[in-house]
Structure 1
Amino acid sequence: MHDVVRDVGISIASDSDGKNVFLIRHGDNLRGWPKKHTYKNYTSISLISGNITELPEGLRCPQLRILLLACMNDSLRIPNGFFDGMRELQVLNLELISIPLLPSSLQFMSNLHTICLQDCKLDNITLIGELLNLEILSFRSSSVEVLSEEIGKLAKLRLLDLTGCHRLERITPGVISGLVQLQELYMIGSFSNWETDKGDSTEERRNASLMSYNPCLI
């Protein structure tokens, strides 16, 4: 796990006063969420295993700021209420997970500033548009096919990483231009269906127009 985008997000959330409490479990012998009497003191949790089959719902992790979870298991699903007890979460990194629909509890994570969904199987990502404080968003090597209009609501977003999103076929017109604070846009090996901008209205175009954007972002 060496994604530079994720590392930047973690560095932003790091606590310099030395009060971090970590829970780290890596290895295929891990088959589920580690059982602890309480999770109230943990500020960072990192779980990596190919054999995790189930995640709990309704955990209370009131101090958690960083969550890294990687699992190559297509049967693993994230419960709708999984994030209910993690309201202080700032950095969320999910890798190699199948997420047909993002859990509804994610939309209430007002402190989230970084989301990395790397090598994930994704379908509907519209819920991310509710996370108005997001600054870093990465879909690196994921299966996302459409960057929907809701993503254009992320007015605080500074970095968008679409590297290696080979299945990305549509960026809804107006999405990129709506990201008014965007400074970095990465798209190597990704979307190439830019449409020309010849005065056509947004409604007449299916995909975004490259001419409307600052080329230094591409």
Structure 2
Amino acid sequence: MACQKTIKVEPLSVEEAWALFMKVLGCIPPEVEEIAKSMARECAGLPLGIKTMAGTMRGVDDICEWRNALEELKQSRVWQEDMDEKVFHILRFSFMHLKESELQQCFLCCALFPEDFKIRREDLIAYFIDEGVIKGLESREAEFNKGHSMLNKLERVCLLESAKEGYYNDRCVKMHDLIRDMAIQILQENSQGMVKVGAWLREVPGAEEWTENLTRVSLMHNQIEEIPSTHSPRCPSLSTLLLCDNSRLQFIADLFFEQLHELKVLDLSRTNITKLPDSVSELVSLTTLLLIGCKMLRHLPSLEKLTALKRLDLSGIRRLEKMPQGMEYLHNLRYLRMNGCGEREFPRGLLPKLSHLQVFVLEEWIPPATKDNRKGQYAPITVKGKEVGCLRKLESLECYFEGYSETTG
């Protein structure tokens, strides 16, 4: 930056560290004050560590719990020359002290997004549901209520920060860079996670990086152009694969998915693929398939075998010329968003077979541009009200009813 003078920022003094610790912590019983001061000193004057540690202990009144926390913090101390490593043990302590394993999984999921990225709460909670972190609830509304509650808890212990984004000031969360680094470090333990996000990759990582222990892989926001037949990763435990926002990605070879038998979440949104590989039809464990905004997509293989599918999002796809085959077999589907793929009427008899639907959004369709119609025109697709009436678990509906011109939502 061609600075005229470089100023070294020293760690906080003992007094400053204690003041910051108490500002975040709030009131504490007098008997734990000395223990709290010892914990503040253990943070070595590092503001992020102090803030995170104080957030972890906020609301704890039991002196035994304070003593135990201090002992665990001392035992986990690993002094390194590098400043990042000095604070990592404090951040990891806060992570380990999350009361619920589901909270830990929610926290780690945030690390799959780019650095400094403002993650929309709605998108994040949908991932929690997709991954099975949030489960066992009767309604999607209840699932989202639980998701917001979990994110609030992570904000209260200072592992996440609140943020706003976009024209409508959507509620978001974001991760401090060091906290994200720590989360990625945890994901990568035992080679269980691969996170290469926003790294300007032009090709997928080499075969040696696709280890058998992988459970989550995030390659979103890169410049990957194709996935050739030379790539056929053998990852029997891989459950989540995020390739979204690779705007240059046009081709994925069939072999790529052939050994990913346990894949549950596949996100290819906002890529330029023209066809989905036929091997996706064999991913019988798949619960979530996201193809949002794949504007060049023309072909989908049969969905007949994907009976575990719960969420299918084909929104923003404009070039599919016919409805995907095998949709009548998706008996477990909870969420369906798509357009009519050129049809004027949603296939009769299909909706009653999707009796578990909670969300059904049927967009208007834009036919592919022609010489006479360069931009294409919106073409609404209608559904029969009697068939929608069969969806007893429906919570959210956007469609045109047969015989009506207004959108129903």
TM-score range, shorter chain: 0.7 to 0.9
Alignment of 1:1-218 (within 5 A): 2=120, 3=123, 5-12=126-133, 21-27=192-198, 29-35=200-206, 37=208, 38-56=210-228, 57-70=231-244, 71-73=246-248, 76-121=250-295, 122-143=297-318, 144-148=320-324, 150-162=326-338, 165=339, 168-170=341-343, 171-187=346-362, 192-194=380-382, 208-214=383-389, 216=394, 218=397
Runs of 4+ residues deviating >6 angstroms:
none
- C-alpha displacement of 1:153: 1.7
Q: Give the secondary structure class of the aligned counterpart of 2:196.
A: strand
Q: CA RMSD in A?
A: 2.9
Q: Which has the higher helix share?
A: 2
8 Å contact kept, 1:13–1:65: no
Q: Which has the higher strand share?
A: 1
2: CA distance, partners of 1:23 / 1:50 = 14
1: CA distance, partners of 2:323 / 2:352 = 13
- C-alpha displacement of 1:20: 8.3
AA aligned opposite 2:322: V
Q: Percent identity?
A: 25
- C-alpha displacement of 1:89: 0.6
CA radius of gyration, larger in: 2
8 Å contact kept, 1:89–1:111: yes
2: CA distance, partners of 1:48 / 1:182 = 28
Q: Could you state the TM-score of these two structures normalised by the residue count of structure 1? A: 0.77
8 Å contact kept, 1:39–1:61: yes
- C-alpha displacement of 1:189: 5.7
Q: Could you state the TM-score of these two structures normalised by the residue count of structure 2? A: 0.43
- C-alpha displacement of 1:33: 0.6
Measured against aligned partners, the alpha-carbon deviations of 1:124-146 in whole angstroms (never above 9, x if no partner) come to 22422331111111113222453
8 Å contact kept, 2:277–2:301: no
- C-alpha displacement of 1:27: 2.0
- The count of corresponding residues between Structure 1 and Structure 2 is 198
AA aligned opposite 1:25: K
